[in-house]
Amino acid sequence: MSLAGDPTALEGLAKQPSRHPWAWLLARVFAVDTMTCPRCRGAMRLMKIANRPDEIARALADLSLGARPPPRPRPAPAGERSFDFAA
């Protein structure tokens, strides 16, 4: 069987992209549209990409956010039960 003469047979063999865009993945997992502004419902655009720690620190500083993560929550008071899952 030769596929060279039949162009419709080749359509089924076309490889689909193996990865989805990150915005699609976030929308599917967290039900959040990351490409739409939550305040005005307008389209958002990518402003900066930071992959290395120094780039991330610089991007956070530009936004007046600390380069350090937020503090850990305080332990539960004595006698109060605590659970390992987040709310």
pLDDT mean over 63-74:
77
pLDDT mean over 68-74:
77
- Mean pLDDT of all residues belonging to the chain: 78
Rounded to whole angstroms, the Cα distance separating 74 from 14 reads 54
Q: Which residues is 67 bridged to in the sheet?
A: none
pLDDT at 42: 92
Residues contacting 9, CB < 8 A, separation 6+: 3
pTM here? Answer: 0.37
pLDDT mean over 6-12:
60
- All structural domains of the chain with their residue ranges: 20-62
pLDDT mean over 14-34:
83
Cα R_g (the chain), whole angstroms: 24
Q: Is the pLDDT of residue 7 over 80?
A: no
Q: Is the pLDDT of residue 4 over 70?
A: no
